[in-house]
Structure 1
Amino acid sequence: MRYVIAFFLPWLSLILQGKILSGIICLFLQITIIGWIPACIWAFTALNRMYADRRTQKIVKEIRRNN
């Protein structure tokens, strides 16, 4: 669902991740048709980074728990 939001409304995807300033900048970028493509890529990249950070935190937590 987040990827659908990131595709159609990249600025909202960033705001939902807690990146308010990035979301506002992305909204200004999305206003132009040419800027919509980089905004969409930015939102997808931010989502992938968020999921990677969650996986990393989970792994670190398990390692600390097992030591």
Structure 2
Amino acid sequence: MMLRNEEGYNDPTADKVFSSVLKKPVSEQDAKSLSRIKHLMHLLRFAANEFGFDIEERVILRDKQTGKIWR
């Protein structure tokens, strides 16, 4: 599944970044977190678009399970 931007078009840049990150040797826990983040960002972009907004800045997330901060 390719990431999509706010307008619903494929976003190859973001998809390439996530794909390259997922290809790096990471712990199983980090891989699961990255997968959840990818899905979450898709939902955030969709929700923002539905309410007439765009996400303009970096989204910083803290994983409640691990305490790790994702920038």
**TM-score range relative to shorter protein:** 0.3 to 0.5
TM-score using structure 2 length:
0.45
Structure with greater Cα Rg: 1
Name whichever structure is richer in helix by fraction.
1
Name whichever structure is richer in strand by fraction.
2
TM-score using structure 1 length:
0.46
